[in-house]
Amino acid sequence: MKYTAQSLAKQFCLGGYVNAVDAMLWRDTFDYMARLKDDSVFQKSQIATLWAQYGGDLRAKIKDDALVLKVLKKALPGYHGEGFTLYRGESWFLFDNDQIGFCWTTSEDIATTYAKGLNAVESGGVLLKCYAPPEAILAIENNVFICDPTYLLRLSTLALFPKL
């Protein structure tokens, strides 16, 4: 099937992820969704599930965290509970360039696995800890906290891991 930004946006809004399209089309799709005035088109809990599973892949394709964040703020259900201490295993390259990812966990062990593994492939990994006040949390899906990194507090580095 041939997708347009609008047809791909419709799939995303329903919680569907289409991997077999090029990165530029995903970027155009997010640009289109960022301009939508009505956020009722987003099936917010389905999008939270999609992002928890495929967000890293989409983020890598779009390569514009500000644009991604603009869409996630519209497309995710939000949160109205207590704040949490959270952890993330990030790649050293992204951390060093102030490009901290959106998905966090309450489990230091899970974050360490990412910091030592998948996120250490390109440049080495870093284990991060922060406090996420309620306004930083855009959604919680299966113990994945999807956060706005600009609202995270007391960010600290717990460990560094070598490049794999």
Output the domain CATH number for residue 131: 3.20.170
pLDDT in tens, 11-55: 999 999 999 999 999 999 999 999 999 999 999 999 999 999 999
Q: What share of the chain is helix, strand, coil (3-state, %, to 5)?
A: 45, 25, 30
Predicted pLDDT of residue 122 = 86
Tell whether 51 and 91 lie within a shared domain.
no
Contact present, 43 and 13 (Cβ < 8 Å): yes
Predicted pLDDT of residue 63 = 95
Q: Is 92 left (phi over 0), alpha (psi -120 to 50) or beta?
A: alpha
From 27, 51, 75, the end of a domain falls on: 75
Domain around 67: 5-75
- Please list the ranges in the chain whose pLDDT falls under 70: none
Tell whether 97 and 155 lie within a shared domain.
yes
- Tally of domains within the chain: 2
Bridge partners for 160 per DSSP: 126
Predicted pLDDT of residue 1 = 78
**Cα 110 to Cα 125: distance, rounded to the nearest angstrom:** 13
Tell whether 12 and 54 lie within a shared domain.
yes
Predicted pLDDT of residue 10 = 97
Predicted pLDDT of residue 84 = 98
Bridge partners for 139 per DSSP: 146
